[in-house]
Structure 1
Amino acid sequence: MQPTLNGIIGHTLQKDEFPAFPVKIWQAVTGGRKYIYKKLSGSEKREIMTHPFRRDSRGAPMPYIEQRQKWQFFTETTIHFMDGGVARIKAPRTALEKMGALDRSRLRHSPDGNTWWLEPNTIVSGYTTSGDLVLVDKVSYNFRRPDRGEVFVFDTRGITGIQQRSNSPQGAGSHYIKRLVGVPGDSLQIVGSDLYVNDKPAEEKKIREVMRGEGRHEGWPGYQLAATEGRTRWRRYLDDPEDVLTLKSRQNQIDNGKDPIEAALYREYAAMGDNTSNSLDSRYWGHVRDYNLVGPALLSLWPLSSGHWGLIK
């Protein structure tokens, strides 16, 4: 399973500041830290191929940058260049953006969106810190419904917004882990730093801790609206104070014409990270359906030095 409890986050660091090899090994084993250095373009800009199928909301082609999982644990980003070259980097695209290699200052496009390139002297230099490897209870949801406020795991089948942003058609082998903040029939809205559920602040203990910045969430910003940058490219669900995300229940789906058995599989849930300033979640891509559910997260098994080892609450 892709370890994403706290996200795989990229950090910039100059190559001459990398530690010695034994230290790298120790940090990788105990903390999931991985150092990366790769030169992506020379003294001139390097044009990227456009994706043969993927288009943005304007109909313009997307850059041919793929993100794939290997052996269910490791993520690799591949960039296809017009000169026939291919760059493979063992990190997710979001981490590379944080490291300054694929952010807006380096990854550019023409006004019509038909040509993409990397600016001259684009270098990936830094390290990634891994999310947590998680033990999941795959039995409970066969006997009970998910509870608002618990941490749960789901696969990404059919969640179009995730696929658009990763440039990778993700299937049952790709999983996310988030806090469940909405169940079928709920209406969600972000007001200030609070999450409103059915027109009032959420009452669940863990969600309230996030809103108030209490416990291990001390200093965090609470629930934030989705960033509006790039809004015209993909739909967003909670990026304006007036936005409301409504989750359909089984009865709603029956009323929409689905048969009772199918309707149960299409019940909708909402998932958010506790640190919403650094989370891709339902604010961006909407609901999770019943057929996506895997189970509640039980234990964080690795890395040992993350500070999150143990029971997940």
Structure 2
Amino acid sequence: MSWNFSLILFIAMLITGSVWVLDRFFLRHKRSPEDKTPWWVEYGASFFPVILFVFVLRSFVVEPFRIPSGSMLPTLKAGDLILVNKYDYGIRLPIIHTKVISLGDPERGDVVVFRYPVDPSIDYIKRIVGMPGDEIAYLNKRLYINGQEVPVKRDGEYFEPDRLAYESQFIEQLGKEENRILVDPASRQELRPVWRFPDRDQCQYRSDGMICKVPEGSYFAMGDNRDNSLDSRFWGFVPSENIVGRAFFIWMNFSEPSRIGRFN
């Protein structure tokens, strides 16, 4: 869980930084050239620059994440190690996540990492489908935005090795670029909320799907693997303050190295 790791990294930076300051401005001047540097000073002062660099890099520039499931197939596979851009949407203070500089907002079609609204200690990754103020409908496995059906083109079939099943693959265009989605026409996915999320009254659940009005300051996110994704259809909207950053690069997949650099 990235929040716990960020906190551990922050505490480590404070401890080693304190040791470095203590040695640099006080202890060093009291030691004679013949005195050996205490081990805790040597290690603390040596690790501080490294920990500081890692903390600044993952807090404000890029952060690595591992894809844990197949909810974003075919775009991202379980085991993909990705990089997330932390500054595209603004600069946030680490740990408390308060935005201090606004540089932009998520766009429709962006793949984003965010803190799961049900449990903010867990990171989720989905695609932004609905913007603030949009009406999003998912009816009979078709996506509608503000009353207009999002056009899709059939793109063959995709084999899911974990499920040993084929699913229909489609090309969809939500934003500036096309992305692929998976839909299983034969499966029956009953949409029901998993909890009474904030602004639940903005959603209608029906036998053929659901319709939601996205509140201001929030987004509607969905997985590309539409029949195998726990997303905004079930737990509600993603508040702007929960967004961590935009996923943009696969830097490793140990079981499938050919995926390095691929996205979409």
TM-score normalised over the length of structure 2: 0.48
Q: Which one has a larger percent helix, Structure 1 or Structure 2? A: 2
TM-score normalised over the length of structure 1: 0.41
